[in-house]
Amino acid sequence: MFIFIFALWPTFQVGAAFWALHIKDAHYHYDRGLFRTFKWEHEGHIYQHLFRIRKWKKHLPDGGAAFKNGYRKKHLTDFSKASLEKFLAESCRAEFSHWVAIVPFFVFGFFCPPIVILYMFLYAVFINLPCIIAQRYNRPRIVKLYKRLK
């Protein structure tokens, strides 16, 4: 069972990323729904204050390189309007894929003892939340730069 659990999680993660990759960029807008910056986030500064994100975000993997049409977000090298628009869409895509990757935690309840569901939820949050936080921290800074270019 233990081996099955460890084999299933990567499948969920890659599946979420694959699904997110096949949604058109137009659906990932930095100023709508889940992706907009909320007032309480103070343009992303809350994540530095609470989690000291600048110390550890460089250690997060960049999943964009894992797919043929993936977009690397580790380092922004082109500061053109088009490049920033693409970065913002990909930031939303990355955040979406990590939110979706948390959801399947309940699946383990179908074949494991009920307590495992709690452990799987905690694992999913622990693995995905740092990546979500990184996107929510970076995006307002890129939006500010993008708006200056407009």
Q: What is the mean pLDDT of the chain?
A: 91
- Please identify which residue in the block is written with the tokens 């233990």: 2
**Alpha helices per DSSP H over 52-113:** 53-56, 81-102
Confidence of residue 76 (pLDDT cuts 50, 70, 90): confident
Residue type, 3: I
Q: Where are the alpha helices (DSSP H) in 22-110?
A: 45-51, 53-56, 81-102
Give how many domains the chain has, as a whole number: 1
Q: pTM for the complete prediction?
A: 0.90
The pair of structure tokens assigned to 123 is 């694992």
pLDDT in tens, 27-58: 999 999 999 999 999 999 999 999 999 999 99
Q: Could you tell me if residue 2 is inside a domain?
A: no
What is the Cα Rg of the chain in Å? 16
Residue 87 forms part of a structural domain:
yes
Domain of 12 in residue numbering reads as 7-149
In a domain, 94, yes or no: yes
Whether 1 maps to a domain, the answer reads no
